[in-house]
């Protein structure tokens, strides 16, 4: 019991003292996951909107696949990206494996379907309401998709924040493609996994507290954005 108590107090000391190692790990986690969210949004939002508004063959299967991939297991994504980036793989020549870049790729693959699937749903709902009016005004399909993305921006912020939550909290993909190399590719989740198995609880606990804190802040931000937007824009 006392070890657990010590672990807590050491963890809080690490956080309160802005421990350099701790900050390095948190910083890398944020850089990797924010980059993944950026790329995931750049791909996922237009993709979701196109599937919602466009009328092309294969629209239904794409929708089903996007929805199915929302819950893609992180370790499977890690494995696929590993195969892609390994020396013998199709993208092996770039030497990305076991670098933060590989982790960004893996998390981007992980969350792009999630962003696209929810964006599709949100834009499709808006499209039902706006369709006749936008067609009456002469909007092309592409212009309509862009207009709907802009008009549903506050709902989409929630989607993007949820994607960030998923990215920063996942461990399987970054562990496989990053390799959990100390000082290079070690992020919060992989450190927690490693330090816990080593029995070094304070660092694991400190990171756990910060991780949960980040997730709560992100969700609070999502909630606040929605409430504010509803009040402001209806």
Per CB under 8 A, residues contacting other proteins are 129-130, 132-133, 135-139, 143, 147, 150-151, 153-154, 229, 232-234
Task: Write down the least CB distance from residue 142 to other proteins, Å.
Answer: 12
Nearer Cβ to other proteins, position 32 or 156?
A: 156
Nearer Cβ to other proteins, position 132 or 197?
A: 132
Task: Write down the least CB distance from residue 119 to other proteins, Å.
Answer: 16
Nearer Cβ to other proteins, position 6 or 129?
A: 129
Task: Write down the least CB distance from residue 151 to other proteins, Å.
Answer: 5
Nearer Cβ to other proteins, position 147 or 190?
A: 147
Task: Write down the least CB distance from residue 56 to other proteins, Å.
Answer: 19
Nearer Cβ to other proteins, position 102 or 160?
A: 160
**Tokens representing residue 143 in the block:** 């212009």
Sequence-distant (6+) residues with CB within 8 A of 30 are 168
Nearer Cβ to other proteins, position 18 or 233?
A: 233
Task: Write down the least CB distance from residue 160 to other proteins, Å.
Answer: 17
Task: Write down the least CB distance from residue 57 to other proteins, Å.
Answer: 20
Three-state secondary structure of the chain = CHHHHHHHHHHHHHHHCCCHHHHHHHHHHHHHHHHHHHHHHHHHHHHHHHHHHCCCCCHHHHHHHHHHHCCCCHHHHHHHHHHHHCCCCCCHHHCCCCCHHHHHHHHHHHHHHHHHHHHHHHHHHHHHHHHHHHHHCCCCHHHHHHHHHHHCHHHHHHHHHHHHHHHHHCCHHHHHHHCCCCCCCCCHHHHHHHHHHHCCHHHHHHHHHHHHHHHHHHHHHHHHHHHHHHHHHC
């Amino acid at each position: 019991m006392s070890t657990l108590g010590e672990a807590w107090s050491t963890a809080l000391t690490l956080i309160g003292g802005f421990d350099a190692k701790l900050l390095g790990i948190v910083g890398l986690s944020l850089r990797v996951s924010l980059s993944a969210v950026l790329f995931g949004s750049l791909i996922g939002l237009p993709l979701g909107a196109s599937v919602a508004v466009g009328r092309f063959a294969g629209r239904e299967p794409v929708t089903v696949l996007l929805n199915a991939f929302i819950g893609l297991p992180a370790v499977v994504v890690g494995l696929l990206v590993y195969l892609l980036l390994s020396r013998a793989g199709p993208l092996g020549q770039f030497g990305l494996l076991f670098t933060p870049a590989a982790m960004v790729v893996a998390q981007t693959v992980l969350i792009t379907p999630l962003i696209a699937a929810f964006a599709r749903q949100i834009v499709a709902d808006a499209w039902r309401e706006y369709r006749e009016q936008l067609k009456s005004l002469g909007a092309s399909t592409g212009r309509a998709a862009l207009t709907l993305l802009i008009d549903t921006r506050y709902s989409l912020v929630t989607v993007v924040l949820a994607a960030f939550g998923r990215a920063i909290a996942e461990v399987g993909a970054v562990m496989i493609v990053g390799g959990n190399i100390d000082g290079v590719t070690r992020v919060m989740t992989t450190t927690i996994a490693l330090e816990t198995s080593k029995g070094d609880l304070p660092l694991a606990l400190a990171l756990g507290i910060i991780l949960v804190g980040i997730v709560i802040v992100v969700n609070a931000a999502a909630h606040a954005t929605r409430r504010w937007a509803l009040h402001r824009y209806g």
